[in-house]
Structure formats: C-alpha cells, structure tokens
Amino acid sequence: MPTSLSAPSQLDVAADLLALLRDTTTEPRPDVQLEALTLAVSADLPVLLQGEPGIGKTAALTQLAAALDLPLTTVIASVHEPTDFSGLPVVGDDPAEQGVPMAPPDWAVRLVRAGRGLLFLDELSTAPPAVQAALLRLVLERRVGALRLPPGVRIVAAANPRASAADGWELSPPLANRFVHLNWTHDPETVVRGLGGTWPHATLPELDPSRLPDAVAHARRAVCAFLTARPPLVHRLPDGETRRGGPWPSPRSWEMTLRLIAFATAAGSSRDVLSLLVRGTVGDGPGLEMLASLDRLDLPDPETLLADPAGAELPERGDLRQAALDAVVAAVRARPERHRWDAAWDLLARAAATGAPDLVVVPATTLAALRREDWDVPPTIERLTGALKLSRRADRALDRTREAAAR
C-alpha cells in the first residue's frame, strides 16, 4: 500500500507565513536621525533615544547592531536592581583581609568576553532613582562592579516621555548630562515603504583620514571661541525638573559637543545632522547659538573678498551671504579707503547678480553713508539701483550720494 504523506500542521503553515512577513530588504536611503545616531555611536558617546512608544526605537537599535556587525545586548533597566549595575557583593574567605569584591552580572561578563557589542538600556525612563544612580558609573566610566567594559562596547538607551511611560520618572540631571539626546520621530513615508518590505539601512559615517587633524582643530577653535564669547553657557543647570532631565550645557557636555563637531566635520555630515547632535548635547538654546557661531566661523575673510571682488566666492545660503556682506562693509568702515570702498561696491553688485538682490539693500545703504566728499560715485551703483529700490531708505541714501557728487 502507498504511504500517504501527512498534511502540514496549521502551525507549520503559520510559520511559513511568518517567515514570508519577515522577509524584508533594506536600501541606502538618507535618514538624518539614523545618520546622527551612527555618528554619535562611532564617536563612542552614550546616546539616549527619546520618543513615544511604538515608533521604532528598539527596531532602529536592532537594525543598527546588524548594520555595524555588533552583537546586541538588551538590558531592561526598570526590571533590575541597583546591584545589577553596581555589582553584587561576594564575601570571600577573609573579607577583613581581602575585602568584599563586587561581582558583575552575566550580561557584562558576556560583553567583556566578546570584546565588542552594543549595550541597549531599554525603558530608561521607568527606572527608579536608585537604579539611575547605579547607572551613572556604567554610562560614564563603563564599569559594572569591578569589571570594566572593553572599548569596543557602545552604549545606547531608549526612553519614553514621562507621560507615556509606565510609572515613569524624569531622568536625574547627572544621568541626563551623560547622554547625547536624540528625539526619535517616525517618518510616515519610511514606515509605509518599510511595511511594503523595504527599510532604510544604517551605515557608518565615512571619516576622511586626510581631514582628521583639520577636523579636530576646527572643533576646538569653534567651541573655545564660542565659550569665550558666552562664558555663562559653560555651565547652566536648567530650573525645571523636566528640562534637567534633558540636554543642558556643562563642561562634560561641551566636551561631547567638541567631539561630535570633529566627527561630523571629518565625515562631511550635513548641517541637519550636526544640528540634531549639538542640540541633543547642550540643549536647544545653547545649541542653536553654537550652530550660528559655527556658521560665522566658516564665513570668508572680508579682507580676502575685498582683495579680489571679481573672483570672490560668496556663501550660497542667504543668511550667510548677508553676514559676509555685512562683514565686508564693517571692514571698510574700520579702514575707509577709496579702493576698498569701490571693491565693496563691486562685491555688492556680484552678490545681487548671483543671488537674491534684496540681500544687498542694507549693506549698500550703510556703504553709501561711508562715502567721503572727494570720492566719485562708482558706476556699480547704477547697476544696483534696481535692487536698492526695494528699500526707500536705500533710495534716499543713494540720492544723497549722487547729490553730493554733483556739487
């Protein structure tokens, strides 16, 4: 008699269906959040992902670990005791002579044996204050009991807003100040494309070896120049409990900012990525001031522009171009000479021809007022008349200049 094959069980069919649902692909797709996360991880800084439940924080970490080929170790902070991070006391034969060593938990031992890995501290906002205090040494010094985690281990945490967390707590200021805070949001288009079977994948930033010394010098110059001009921002502990649980400026967080600026510069990261990282380290207010200072640091030297107006390269971004033109006018005011005044007009004409004409209105008005009685009105002013008509004040300034020249 022929042997009849038994039909597959419903659980086997269900397993096949689940396998098909898990069969997804990835694609290289620009993602500012993922790039900021990978840059901070490559800079060996602890990162805290903050966002509402269910938006993919854990999935992002799983995907990041796979992309970076790092074994992922997940620790739910809220279900552990303080001794799980500070170490369990182990009494030996002669504690009075040998002391009482603090034994590390098994997950820390596994990370040390592997020599590398991604330690994911999940649900950090549901960890009570005693556990948060025990985490301080782990996050900053990479120590668990008497064990030191190897340099190849990176630390990333995730937290929900207090209102969305089960029995949530605000992060203590000392713990919050040890993290780069990234607000994690979802992109509807990315979610739709992912549910269709294609998710974006994270890649390590490509650091240019030839740019490393310049990147470090640039970061040091930028942070030191900013804090010299704004000494109150070296350390500013926020007033409210909620704000203290986020990013705020301190010598520690400025050191982290300096490192991130160097890494972003060496990797050629976009300003959007750098903005997320800087604001996530020292807070929105100081971070935006730091970014504005960086923009001014990258402005061309006004003396270089005045020396060669025809070949000058002006910034493309409108606010930076405006700042560069204002700096040129300020340089002429500081040393008013006829050839410098004429060169400044040539620069304004070039700016009006290659960008938004309204950007030259204010600097042209100021430059016109700097004219000396024995200086002829350059023909360049006639070419700028159309643009300067955008401002009545500029028109009046030009009229006064022409009247003075006709006397």
- pLDDT at residue number 394: 47
| Range in 104-113, 131-140, 163-172, 351-360 with the lowest mean pLDDT | 163-172
Higher-pLDDT residue of 55, 1: 55
- pLDDT at residue number 380: 75
Nearest CA among 51, 60, 47, 65 for reference residue 263: 47
Indicate if the pLDDT at residue 99 is higher than 80. Answer: no
First to last CA, the chain: 123
391 pLDDT band (50/70/90 cuts)? very low
Indicate if the pLDDT at residue 202 is higher than 60. Answer: yes
Nearest CA among 168, 108, 165, 101 for reference residue 132: 168
> Contact, 78 vs 104, CB < 8 A?
no
298 pLDDT band (50/70/90 cuts)? confident
Element (H, E) at 48: strand 47-50
| Range in 101-105, 211-215, 245-249 with the lowest mean pLDDT | 101-105
Higher-pLDDT residue of 381, 338: 338
* Cα–Cα dist 285/259, whole Å: 19
| Range in 111-125, 129-143, 155-169, 325-339 with the lowest mean pLDDT | 155-169
Superfamily name and number for 29-90+100-200: P-loop containing nucleotide triphosphate hydrolases (3.40.50.300)
- pLDDT at residue number 266: 95
390 pLDDT band (50/70/90 cuts)? very low
SS (H, E, C) 190-250: HHHHHHCCEEECCCCCCCCHHHHHHHHHHHHHHHHHHHHHCHHHCCCCCCCHHHHCCCCCC
User: Token pair of 328, please?
Assistant: 């040129």
Q: Mean pLDDT, the chain, as a whole number? A: 84
User: Token pair of 266, please?
Assistant: 């060496």
User: Token pair of 207, please?
Assistant: 């650091």
Higher-pLDDT residue of 87, 165: 87
Q: 38: which residues sit within 8 A by CB, 6+ positions away?
A: 64, 67, 68, 202, 203, 204, 205
351 pLDDT band (50/70/90 cuts)? confident
- pLDDT at residue number 279: 97
- pLDDT at residue number 185: 86
Percent of the chain at pLDDT exceeding 90: 32
* Cα–Cα dist 70/374, whole Å: 72
What global pTM score does this model have? 0.74
How far from 309 is each of 19, 35, 219, 346, 361, CA to CA, in Å?
65, 38, 30, 6, 18
Q: 93: which residues sit within 8 A by CB, 6+ positions away?
A: none
CA dihedral 231, 237, 242, 248 (to 10 degrees): 40
- pLDDT at residue number 360: 83
Q: What letter would DSSP give residue 120?
A: E
Domain spans, the chain: 29-90+100-200, 209-297, 302-406
How far from 178 is each of 112, 256, 303, 356, CA to CA, in Å?
22, 9, 42, 43
Q: Concatenated DSSP letters for 59-116?
A: HHHHHHHHHTT--EEEEEGGGS-THHHH-EE---S-HHHH---EEPPHHHHHHHHHSE
Q: Side chain identity at 305, as an amino acid letter?
A: L
